[in-house]
C-alpha cells in the first residue's frame, strides 16, 4: 500500500470533487419532484383525477416524472384500446407532441425535469387535439 502524499488531517482535491458531485446529484434529483408540483393542477384537470388519485400520482413522482394513461374501449370491460393508442401516438407526433407507448394501450408522458406551466399547458392542449382527431378516425 502506498503512503499518502498529503499531510495527516488535510483533505485532498478528490474528496472535494466527490462531495461536490454528490451535492449536484442531490440537487438535480429534486427537480423532478418540483416539476410534478408545477404540472399537477393541469394533469389533474386533464385526466379528471380527484385529490386522492393525485396523492398517488404525487407520491410516485419521487421515482421520477413519468405519467401513463391507459386507453380502454369502455369502463365496464376495461379492454385495452390498442388501435386507438396507436392513432393517438401518430396524431400527437403530427401535432408536434412526442409520446411513447407502454404495453398494449398506455400512453407515457415523460416531461423534462425543468417543465414550465406553459409547456404543460401546451402539451395537454396538443394531447386533447390528438385524442379528438384519433377518435374521429375511428
For 33-60, the pLDDT digits (tens) are 667 777 788 888 888 888 888 887 777 6
62, pLDDT greater than 80: no
**Residue 115 domain-assigned (yes or no):** yes
Q: 106 in a domain, yes or no?
A: yes
- The answer to the question of residue 83 being in a domain is yes
In this prediction, residue 6 carries a pLDDT of 54
Are the beta carbons of 129 and 103 closer than 8 angstroms?
no
Report pTM. 0.56
Is 23 inside any structural domain?
A: no
How confident is residue 136, by pLDDT bands cut at 50, 70 and 90? very high
What is the pLDDT averaged over residues 71-78?
Answer: 90
Residue 21 within any structural domain of the chain: no
DSSP secondary structure string for all residues of the chain: -PPPSSPTT---HHHHHHHHHHHHHHHHHTHHHHHHHHHHHHHHHHHT--HHHHHHHHHHGGG-S-EEEE-BS-TTT--B-HHHHHHHHHHHHHTT---EEETTTEEEE---SS--HHHHHHHHHHHHHHHHHHHHH-
pLDDT, average across residues 80-92: 94
Residue 22 lies in a domain: no
17 found inside a domain: no
pLDDT value for 57? 73
Number of Cβ atoms within 10 Å of the Cβ of 26:
9
User: Looking at residue 125, what is its pLDDT?
Assistant: 93
| Residue 5 lies inside a defined structural domain of this protein | no
The grid coordinates of residue 79 equal: 379492454
C-alpha cell at 67: 405519467
Give 7-31 pLDDT, tens digit per residue. Answer: 555 667 777 888 888 777 766 666 6
- How many independent structural domains does the chain possess? 1
User: What's the domain range around 94?
Assistant: 34-137
What CATH number is attached to the domain comprising 62? 3.90.1150.10
Amino acid at each position: 500500500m502506498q503512503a499518502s502524499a498529503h499531510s495527516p488531517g488535510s483533505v485532498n482535491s478528490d474528496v472535494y470533487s466527490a462531495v461536490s458531485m454528490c451535492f449536484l446529484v442531490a440537487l438535480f434529483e429534486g427537480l423532478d419532484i418540483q416539476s410534478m408540483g408545477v404540472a399537477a393542477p393541469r394533469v389533474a384537470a386533464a385526466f379528471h383525477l380527484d385529490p386522492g388519485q393525485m396523492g398517488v400520482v404525487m407520491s410516485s413522482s419521487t421515482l421520477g416524472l413519468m405519467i401513463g394513461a391507459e386507453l380502454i374501449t369502455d369502463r365496464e370491460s376495461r379492454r385495452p384500446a390498442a388501435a386507438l393508442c396507436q392513432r393517438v401516438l401518430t396524431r400527437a407526433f403530427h401535432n408536434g407532441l412526442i409520446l411513447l407507448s407502454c404495453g398494449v394501450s398506455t400512453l407515457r408522458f415523460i416531461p423534462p425535469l425543468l417543465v414550465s406551466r406553459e409547456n404543460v399547458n401546451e402539451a395537454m392542449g396538443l394531447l386533447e387535439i390528438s385524442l379528438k382527431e384519433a377518435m374521429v378516425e375511428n
